[in-house]
Structure 1
């Protein structure tokens, strides 16, 4: 958190104030997902969240500070939406369930929206170094769940000792992000299904029978 954010954080002490701030962040996240960061102004956010410009600046030093909180919010939301098996990817069956839940979620949503964190990363990577670092940290946190599950499988003798859990976890993340993007553009879950099947097949080949 930057020094510019700190005084505003200290003032966010009342329940009403916290609720107002969260409403601003949630509103900004929704608008930025559909319009993009550059296509969303503070006035747009204020109107949708029913707060004035002065109230907005009470909580955020500028738009960049708000964007950073949006990245944090989307990271939390994406990880919370991974389903119950994500927290314990220590068996092949849990990986299959996680894959099926991910595909079902994308299909139910009509493949609209893609990955909120990925969308932010694409737009911010070359424009805002602080926000880019937060997106990178969000992806690392997400990937850590895959890595930890695979490491546990290896420690418990379910995964070949010669396997590389870090590389396999990165392969899952690459397949997930690429698949979500193609599914969004094509409005078809098939690219995501193929990508995840390919990544999980790499894990399956390393299972100890």
Structure 2
């Protein structure tokens, strides 16, 4: 898993509440067992017309948001069923950080395990961030996990809290297997003694 310490990138505003995991990636695209290629189906119903052509009014189909690595969403993002493919689709598209007032519980667990930083801010602060991005779409913002702060190009900053264990996992880039392998010597000694 890729470490996350600091990210300076373009952000995309998505002012939709209650975006469920089926909206993030419809079930019919979850046949793959790998994480690659799912980004093309991210927000499929919102990004494309029935004939497969792009919807010009959807934020991720417009420059510069096509290259966004930060998504500023609304409340209850990624609610619904427990599909890890939703995280895979977001990361395959290029997102490393989602900022929203709240997230689906299972999605939050899957995000941590796959190196996707979730930042919880109040609905008002998320609205301010989306407004900032809409008024200056080419200005990157910086999410600094080490100091737990979001920096705007204008100089404004917003502090955020994160669970210390989640922060450590992301900064060290350790998924469940990586965390287990940190104890490989102790596991080997146990197995040998047994």
Same fold (TM over 0.5): no
Higher fraction of strand: 2
Between structures 1 and 2, the one with greater helix share: 1
* More contact order relative to length (CA 8 Å, sep ≥ 6): 2
Structure 1 length-normalised TM: 0.29
Larger Rg: 1
